[in-house]
Amino acid sequence: MMKRLILAFLLVSFFAVPVHAFENGSFEFGTATGDFDTIDAGSNFIAPWIIDSGDIDVIRDLWTAADGNQSIDLNGGEAATIRQTIPTNAGCTYRITFSMSGNSPAGSGTSRTLDLYMNGLNVASFSTTLSVYDTSPGNWEEKTFEFPHSSPGHTMTIIEFMSTTSGPSGPAIDNVRLEELSCPPPASIPTMNEWGMIVFMALAGLIAVYYMRKQTTV
Ligand SMILES: [Ca+2]
Ligand SMILES: [Ca+2]
């Protein structure tokens, strides 16, 4: 019994995958030179993000980032798709938050759009009429998307951002984050007093078996 309890505890500990925010969600890891660098699909410049198609601009001095020193234009010379795979737990609810703007003239009100994909499915579309060059009301706005992770045993989720704007001036994003909003209550683990009682009962059982065997072999 004791071995089974210890095994169950170890299994619960092993499979309880912790929540990780996006890595490099602020696009600060690779340093662009000057105003910006154009990065092609296949490059690891924004790793662990993967650029699946098209190209992006990693912007440093061309405009002010929403967070840190860099952001990206999801259109380098053309529309791009980027993705990152994150650990998620079945039964939990999550929220993705990111800053969005548009590589468009200040005050133009021009729309810039992108789609959000999860595990290959288009789950949301976002647009903004802000410009990265706007000073009032500001050049970034927050976008959010909440999702329940309901696939049993599926602990990895592929998150993709796909520009749906054509041409070299696309949607700008920065500061991509993940929050775990709620989860089912964890499997109850015995308290120290309960562990003491379990150990006591296991020892008492072993002693009883020992004496029973001793009596039958005498
Ligand atoms: Ca940033
Ligand atoms: Ca561009």
Query: Distance between CA atoms of 102 and 78, rounded to whole angstroms?
Result: 14
User: Which positions ≥6 away from 100 have C-beta within 8 Å?
Assistant: 112, 114, 126, 128, 130, 140, 141, 142, 143, 171, 172, 173
Confidence (pLDDT) at 52: 97
Query: Distance between CA atoms of 215 and 205, rounded to whole angstroms?
Result: 15
- pTM to 2 decimals? 0.77
From the CA of 67, the nearest ligand is: 1
Bridge partners (DSSP) listed for residue 122: 117
From the CA of 22, the nearest ligand is: 1
69-87 per-position pLDDT tens digit: 999 999 999 999 999 999 8
Query: Distance between CA atoms of 57 and 10, rounded to whole angstroms?
Result: 45
108-151 per-position pLDDT tens digit: 999 999 999 999 999 999 999 999 999 988 999 999 999 987 76
CA of 90 to the centre of ligand 2 (A): 37
From the CA of 46, the nearest ligand is: 1
Q: Residues with Cβ within 5 Å of ion ligand 2?
A: 57, 73, 75, 168
